[in-house]
Amino acid sequence: MVFVDVREPSEVANSGSVDGAINVPRGLLEFQADPESLSHRAELSRGARIVLCCGSGARSALAAKTLQDMGVAIVAHVPGGFFGP
């Protein structure tokens, strides 16, 4: 299972993240998830189990939908994010 924090690097630096999570800012997700992209990250391969997280759950929900649309079958997000109820 791969945990992906979709917040900006400055947000991660200020508040930390899940141990072992990789940081892929929401604005770069499509590029880093696309196996044809020069900036592709192997951790985001289509066979991986991916859990997305962010501060409130909004960006991670959008990111999950995007990855599903790109053909990533096993993807989820953390509703409410790090700082939600």
Own/partner pairs for 16-21, CB < 8 Å, 24+ apart?
17/53, 18/53, 21/53
Q: pLDDT by residue (tens digit) across 38-80? A: 999 999 987 889 999 999 999 999 999 999 999 988 999 999 9
User: What is the model's pLDDT at position 5?
Assistant: 97
Q: Is the Cβ–Cβ distance between 23 and 17 less than 8 Å?
A: yes
Taking the CA atoms of residue 26, residue 31, residue 34 and residue 40 in that order, the dihedral angle to the nearest 10 degrees is -100
pLDDT value of position 85: 66
**Does the structure show a pLDDT above 70 at 4?**
yes
Residue 37 falls inside a structural domain = yes
For the stretch 12-30, pLDDT in tens is 999 989 899 999 999 999 9
Confidence label for 34 from pLDDT (cuts 50, 70 and 90): very high
Residue 31 is part of a domain; what is its CATH number? 3.40.250.10
Instruction: Give the count of domains, the chain.
Output: 1
- Residue 19's domain comprises 2-77
In a domain, 63, yes or no: yes
